Amino acid sequence: MRCRHALFAALLPLATPGLAWEFSEEPVCTLSHATAEVAVAVTFDPSIPEYAIALTLAEGVWPEAAVFAIAFDGGWPITIRTDRHEIGDDGRRLTVRDSGFGNVLDGIGKNSRATAMVPGLAVTLPLDGAGGPLAAFRACPAPKLS
């Protein structure tokens, strides 16, 4: 449940398109970006531990689909597919959760754009400027235990 609240909180500041890639470690490690079409938040909650990527459309809804894919284009092209995605927020948000996100993080760091897609809908995200925030995300510390 904490991860869902964290994703919601991470997406709130993304209402304005054109923001640069950003990193935050509160309330969980978050790498985020927004365009006029979509806001993306990649999170890592070390208390679970779980990674998630949430893509929230500015307008419209994600169609129901058996498979979601994200294709990275540039210096290290790769396409990642999964059937473990969820659609929420009245159809506007598509989320994928997993215990490992190495290929997603490498895709963001080594390419110039990503295209998130299901049959009938594709949205493209520029990856320019993600390097510094991605490095901070990868180094995000685990929560301090008392």
* 72-111 pLDDT per residue, tens: 999 999 999 999 999 998 999 999 999 999 999 999 999 9
* 47-68 pLDDT per residue, tens: 889 999 999 999 999 999 999 9
Question: Does the residue 146 lie in any domain?
Answer: no
Indicate which CATH number applies to the domain containing 52.
Answer: 2.60.40
How many domains, in total, are found in the chain? 1
Question: Does the residue 134 lie in any domain?
Answer: yes
Q: Which domain holds residue 39?
A: 2-138
Tell me the backbone φ, ψ of residue 74, rounded to 5 degrees.
145, -130
Residue 45 CA to residue 122 CA, distance in Å, equals 27
